[in-house]
Amino acid sequence: GQNIDQPTEMTATEGAIVQINCTYQTSGFNGLFWYQQHAGEAPTFLSYNVLDGLEEKGRFSSFLSRSKGYSYLLLKELQMKDSASYLCASLDSNYQLIWGAGTKLIIKP
Amino acid sequence: IAGITQAPTSQILAAGRRMTLRCTQDMRHNAMYWYRQDLGLGLRLIHYSNTAGTTGKGEVPDGYSVSRANTDDFPLTLASAVPSQTSVYFCASSGGQNEKLFFGSGTQLSVL
């Protein structure tokens, strides 16, 4: 079956670094997405990886290892506004997105 | 209109009633999607449309129907609402199969 696993909840301190992991098992693979979703709002796009390696975008970076079925989202210099849920989603061979349940990130001062 | 718009924002509905959730985008995206989001679960695809005139079933299509008469609009209809359809519904669109999704602001639906 198809499955995405990510931690339910994480806590981190303002100014620190946090890594949110995601493992996936899908029928085929056409890329891995990360979305951010603030409480009561719609998800918004953060990153897309299809090749192995690290992609950096400002304070946020995303890593992919296709051989391990593994990705992580790295958030640096955490700010209170980064408190949100982070959704991992894998694009399968039919170009359908398989979504994880999301990781709720709590930032403490 | 800028982006993707959903209506209504929220709705309380009696079980057995018919309801249509509206979704309109102005980005000329070919692909559109309807998801439901429930606490503790990932987004689940209800129906999708890869282009105007075509629709497909997602992971949880039962009790829902869609139409795609033109590029911009993709309404979702609950023919006879049941309490298990209480959820937050998101409409989304994308420019291609591996393109990022743009989401509407969501509809909070409560079926009593």
pLDDT of residue B1 exceeding 60, the answer is no
Residue A95 and residue B96: Cα distance in Å, rounded?
10
Tell me which of B37, B90, B108 to substitute to probe the interface with A (most A C-beta atoms closer than 10 Å): B37
pLDDT of residue A7 exceeding 80, the answer is yes
By Cβ distance, the residue of A35, A42, A99 closest to B105 is A42
Beta carbons within 8 Å of A58's beta carbon, 6+ residues apart: none
Q: How far is CA A99 from CA A4, A78, A85, B3, B35, in A?
A: 6, 25, 13, 23, 11
- Which pLDDT tens digit goes with each residue over A94-104? 888 999 999 99
| Torsion A82-A86-B4-A50 (CA) sign | positive
| A38 interfacial to chain B (CB closer than 8 Å) | no
In the prediction, which pLDDT does A66 show? 96
User: Which residue, chain included where needed, has tokens 């951010």?
Assistant: A36
In the prediction, which pLDDT does B29 show? 96
For residue A27, what pLDDT band results from cuts at 50, 70 and 90? confident
**Contact assignment for A45 to B104 by CB distance below 8 Å:** no
- Which pLDDT tens digit goes with each residue over B53-100? 999 999 999 999 999 999 999 999 999 999 999 999 999 999 987 899
Q: How far is CA B26 from CA A45, A70, B71, B99, in A?
A: 18, 35, 9, 16
- Which pLDDT tens digit goes with each residue over B25-64? 999 999 999 999 998 888 999 999 999 999 999 999 999 9
Nearest residue of B to residue A92 by CA position?
Answer: B98
| B105 interfacial to chain A (CB closer than 8 Å) | yes
**Contact assignment for A31 to B98 by CB distance below 8 Å:** yes
| A101 interfacial to chain B (CB closer than 8 Å) | yes
Q: Provide mean pLDDT across the span A53-67.
A: 96
Chain A / chain B CB contacts < 8 angstroms: 47
- Which pLDDT tens digit goes with each residue over A32-42? 999 999 999 99
Residue A73: count of CB within 10 angstroms of its CB: 25
Residue A47: count of CB within 10 angstroms of its CB: 20
**Contact assignment for A42 to B106 by CB distance below 8 Å:** yes
Judged by CB atoms within 8 Å, which residues 64-83 of B form the interface with A? Answer: none
| A106 interfacial to chain B (CB closer than 8 Å) | no
